[in-house]
Amino acid sequence: MKHVALWLLLLVPIAAAVHYLLDVPPLWTFVAGVAAIVPLAEWIRRGTEQISHRAGAAVGGLLNATFGNTAELVLAIFVLLTGQADVVKAQITGSIIGNGLLGLGLAITIGTWGKQQLAFKRERASLLSSLLMLVVIALLVPALFNYTERGIFASTEVTSLDEKLSLCVAVVLIVVYAANLVYTLVTDRDVFAPDEPRESKGEPWPLRRSIAVLVGATIGTAWMAELVSGALGATARTIGVSTFFLGVIVLAIIGNVAEYVSSIYFARQGRLALVAAITVGSTIQVALLVAPILVLVSHVAGHPMNLVFDNPLELIAIASVAFVVNAITRDGQATWFEGVLLIAVYVLLAFAFFFATPPPSM
């Protein structure tokens, strides 16, 4: 299996050759880039597994989410520099619902297949649910503020106020995320340490090798994601869908495939705490860290982005993640049918985004 994973890495230079050397339609760059991301995701999963054996599920899950989201952050910055803030917001929405619903749903469904259920600590589930509620509130406030101020000030003034409020919200979210790390990894580490099996096949990798694999695979994923994003518009026109749908659904899935691969693998091992740390943890990291960083970077780059989600469907989708994940995880157990329910909610939202009219700028 290891040799297969190595050979599949040849898809990375093949995708680069398709893009840079061959005169082919952008659709082929899109397909080749997507294919190349899959083996890179597998190597991110392997690096995470090795580190989690040494440092535990909390640190392993955090690293997997961080390295997985790094590729997405780089991709979003590229899109931001072209002034397409709406596409970036669509990616943020897609990542939140993709990890929280599709990623967790697939992991629970496949991980519990043939088993009665999987269990994890209720304290961790309660904390994740609380953070998800904060995400919903933090993204609702700018939208409601924009709605109330539009009837009072001119559009230019409202835009300026939206940007200032978004900057304030971004700073608060980053501070909360940092406090969450201190709370779960330092001051209350014993409370959130998972009691689950740690199976290791063969001799563990040296820490330096594990980190090198994670960094290398993440850089490769970011590169392929950038090629895929460049072919996004032409691909959308070719297959007859909107860039809004590709941004929320397709691009988000591609950017987070590493988390999906890892979470399914660890779910089969019965390590649901690590699964939650990867999927729901990645959702929280996108909302509390990645999105605020993008707001700050956008102002420095001269293309200010706010946190106002103009499409109510995006806000409903994000709120759905908090509601459904809280309902399913609050008892500290998960069954395959609950995984199916998560996937079903994601599919319903995907249909809605498919038929939705995209914003004018997209």
d(CA 177, CA 167): 15
* Mean pLDDT of all residues belonging to the chain: 82
The residue with greater pLDDT, 53 or 272, is 272
pLDDT on residue 271: 78
Which of the two residues, 19 and 361, has the higher pLDDT score? 19
pLDDT at 302: 83
Q: 3-class SS at 361?
A: coil
Which residue ranges form the domains of the chain, and what is each CATH number?
2-355 (1.20.1420.30)
C-beta separation of 259 from 65 below 8 A? yes
pLDDT for residue 173 is more than 80: yes
Share of the chain above pLDDT 70, in %: 86
Q: How many helices (H) and strands (E) does the chain have?
A: 18, 2
Categorize the per-residue pLDDT at 176 as very low, low, confident or very high, splitting at 50, 70 and 90.
very high
Rounded alpha-carbon distances, angstroms, from residue 60 to 40, 66, 198, 204: 17, 10, 12, 14
pLDDT digits (tens, 9 = 90+) for 121-136: 677 777 888 888 999 9
3-state secondary structure 38-98: HHHHHHHHHHHHHHHHHHCHHHHHHHHHHHHHHHHHHHHHHHHHCCCHHHHHHHHHHHHHH
8-state DSSP, 123: H
- Please, are residues 217 and 261 in contact by the beta-carbon 8 Å criterion? no
Whole-angstrom Cα distance, residue 320 to residue 24? 40
- What mean pLDDT is predicted for residues 12-27? 91
**Of 38-42, 72-76, 144-148, which one has max mean pLDDT?**
144-148
Closest CA to 5 of 45, 52, 56: 45
Structure-model confidence comparison of residues 55 and 166, the more confident one: 166
Residues 6+ apart with CB under 8 A from 311: 356, 359
Average pLDDT over residues 234-238: 84
Q: Tokens for 264?
A: 């399914």
Buried b (16+ CB within 10 A) or exposed e, 94-112: bbbbbbbbbbbbbbbbbbb
CA-based angle 159:161:162, to the nearest 5? Answer: 65
Q: Is the pLDDT of residue 197 over 60?
A: no
What per-residue confidence (pLDDT) applies to 362? 56
**In one letter, which amino acid is 71?**
A
What is the rounded CA–CA span in Å between residue 360 and residue 292?
24
What's the confidence (pLDDT) of residue 292?
A: 94
Minimum mean pLDDT range among 34-43, 68-77, 206-215, 224-233: 68-77
The fraction of the chain above a pLDDT of 90, given in percent, is 22
Give the pLDDT of residue 192.
55
pLDDT exceeds 60 at position 191: no
pLDDT of residue 166: 93
Q: Is the pLDDT of residue 2 over 60?
A: no
- Per-residue pLDDT at 308 exceeds 60: yes
Q: Which two tokens stand for residue 57?
A: 């599920």
Residue 195: per-residue pLDDT: 53
pLDDT digits (tens, 9 = 90+) for 242-278: 878 877 887 778 777 777 887 888 888 887 777 887 8
Q: How confident is the model at residue 83 (pLDDT cuts 50, 70, 90)?
A: confident
pLDDT at 190: 62
Paired sense of beta strands 118-119 and 333-334, if any: antiparallel
